[in-house]
Amino acid sequence: MSYRFHYTRHGAARKALRELNADSVDAVVRAPDRKTRLRSGTHGGIVFAFEKTVNHATLKVVAEIYREECWIITAYELDQE
Is the pLDDT confidence value at 81 over 60? Answer: no
For position 55, what pLDDT does the model report? 75
Is the pLDDT confidence value at 79 over 90? Answer: no
Specify the DSSP element, H or E, that contains 29: helix 22-30
With residues binned 3-state (H G I as helix, E B as strand, rest as coil), the percentages for the chain, rounded to 5, are 20, 50, 30
**Global pTM value:** 0.90
What does the pLDDT average to over 68-75? Answer: 95
Task: Spell out the domain ranges in the chain.
Answer: 4-67
